[in-house]
Amino acid sequence: MDVRVRFAPSPTGHLHIGGARTALFNWLFARNLGGKFVLRIEDTDTTRSTEEYIEAIIDGMKWLNLDWDEGPFRQTDRFNVYRSYVDRLISEGKAYYCYCTPEELEERRKKAQEQGADQKYDGRCRDLKEPPAGRPAAVRFRMPEYGTTVVDDLIRGKVAFENSVLEDMIILRSDGTPTYNFVVVVDDIDMKITHVIRGDDHLNNTPKQIHIYKAFGWEVPQFAHLPMILGADKTRLSKRHGATSVMAYKEMGYLPEALVNYLVRLGWSYGDQEVFSRQELVQHFSFDAVGKSAAVFNPEKLLWLNGQYIIKADPEKLAELVIPFLVKDRTIKEGQDIDMKWLAQAVVTLQERAKTLIELAAGLKYYIAEEIEIDPKAAEKFLKPEHLAYLKDLKELLSETQNFVAAEIEKAFHAVAEKHSTKLGSIAQPARVAMTGNTASPGMFELMEIFGRPKVMKRLSKVLGEN
């Protein structure tokens, strides 16, 4: 049998970290087994779903490079289908009309809670002989009252539920729209889904859904319930814990490969390996190695991973990716012409120093900008009169070098150090402040080579007050 899985987000918000991981595990499972990955938009809540969020979710999927084989399907396009399935259940006596209003139900629930009693629907419309006139009706599914339902889960094993705790849930609202627990089953059957891979928070819904499958005589798919992702306080990850939308990480200068790598290790492992290529992920992924316990989202480890991916990334590609951040930084103007070959060279010097594209852009600033600001503290420490004397000599030597390349530049530095009987560091630090305005940067020799002689001369002149 061909494996078919789906990711079914509801468009009531952006694609968030938890949803992205669910999508990723579905994708990996499908790719590992050569199956199909379906994208389905669960927009039956017409009051909260928006077109913007559908776009946002698709953007997030694309950015993470999680391609789907079918869809996106939308449930709002399928209301007639659901309607006919509801009718079938009613005609077979497996569902019935309920005339209780939401307000009445709410009140009863509240009362039951206060008394510490069972909160489930009392079934008062279950066997109604005469429907009350003039009241809107919802449709409820008739749950079995006795027996046990076992969910056989790929991650958790067998989980048993007493049917007596299940209530007759509403499958069709009084406004004629169907509800989640019903449509999810109808869709999964219509779309021939073989494995339902979703968040742990759905485990309790699963027995209810199994009864719908059975009411129709359908085969129940395999389930895999993924553990939750928690915030630092161990509660479900939410806005309170900082950035949760996937696209926010794009804006913060993260690489999608790094986020994917981080997310997959939240719950899944392969021995001691931490960094995986796409191919390795697809090759090794299996639910056997998915853990059962919830995981705390750790931004620091994600940052480290991102740094690892930046180090390994192709400099030309990084140069492309960093452009929007340079624009945002106002280091360059939108659409400004820039020598990409040269930019890539500059990027190489910064790769192992930048953990995000934002940091990369910040480092690139002094390579590109005409004027730099000099940190007063740095100047105070490294631009004292004796330092300026070194820089004066350095400038002279550098103006005479044949080829303005790192090896030649290094010779000049050593010559100055020797002349003044001092260490290389006492020349390099002042030079660094003159070049970058700061005390930390890539190595001076390669930096100067990439700057080029004119820019180096200009900046030395400036600190020497020679304008």
Partner RNA sequence: GGUCCCAUCGUCUAGUGGCCUAGGACGUGGCCCUCUCAAGGCUAAAACACGGGUUCGACUCCCGUUGGGACCGCCA
Q: CB 381 → RNA: shortest distance, Å?
A: 11
Closest approach of Cβ 401 to RNA, in Å?
Answer: 16
Is the CB of 295 or the CB of 326 nearer to RNA? 295
Apex 262 CA angle, 258 and 263, nearest 5:
115
Nearer to RNA, 336 or 439 (CB): 439
How long is the chain?
Answer: 467
Q: How far is the CB of 184 from RNA (least distance, A)?
A: 7
Alpha carbon distance 4, 404 (integer Å): 60
Q: Which is nearer to RNA, 106 or 339 (CB)?
A: 106
Tokens of 49: 């779903």
Q: Among the options 239, 312, 317, 423, which is catalytic?
A: 239
Q: How far is the CB of 269 from RNA (least distance, A)?
A: 4
Closer Cβ to RNA, 18 or 35, answer by number:
18
Taking the complex as a whole, how short is the minimal distance between the CB of residue 424 and RNA, in angstroms? 4
Distance, in Å, from the CA atom of 204 to the CA atom of 179, rounded to the nearest integer, reads 16
Query: Smallest distance from the beta carbon of 456 to RNA, in angstroms?
Result: 14
Taking the complex as a whole, how short is the minimal distance between the CB of residue 336 and RNA, in angstroms? 27
Tell the smallest beta-carbon distance from residue 453 to RNA (Å): 18
- The minimum distance between CB 347 and RNA, in angstroms, equals 14
> For every residue of the chain, which 3-state class applies, written as one string?
CCCEEEECCCCCCCCEHHHHHHHHHHHHHHHHHCCEEEEEECCCCCCCCCHHHHHHHHHHHHHCCCCCCEEEEEHHHHHHHHHHHHHHHHHCCCEEEECCCHHHHHHHHHHHHHCCCCCCCCCCCCCCCCCCCCCCCEEEECCCCCCEEEEEECCCEEEEEEHHHCCCCEEECCCCCECHHHHHHHHHHHCCCCEEEEEHHHHHHHHHHHHHHHHHCCCCCEEEEECCEECCCCCECCHHHCCCEHHHHHHCCCCHHHHHHHHHHCCECCCCCCCCCHHHHHHHCCHHHECCCCEECCHHHHHHHHHHHHHHCCHHHHHHHHHHHHHHCCCCCCCCCCCHHHHHHHHHHHCCCCCCHHHHHHHHHHHHCCCCCCCHHHHHHHCCHHHHHHHHHHHHHHHHCCCCCHHHHHHHHHHHHHHCCCCHHHHHHHHHHHHHCCCCCCCHHHHHHHHCHHHHHHHHHHHCCCC
Q: Count the neighbouring beta carbons within 10 Å of the beta carbon of residue 160.
A: 9
Nearer to RNA, 256 or 307 (CB): 307
Distances (CA, A) of 439 to 17, 247, 264, 362, 420: 37, 33, 38, 14, 22
Whose structure tokens read 């629930």?
Answer: 109
Question: In the sheet that 70-74 helps form, which strands lie side by side, from edge to edge?
Answer: 4-7, 36-41, 70-74
Nearest to RNA of 106, 466 (CB atom): 106
Q: Is 239 a catalytic residue?
A: yes
Q: Which of 66, 57, 79, 55 is nearest to 29 (CA)?
A: 66
Task: Please list the active-site residues.
Answer: 239
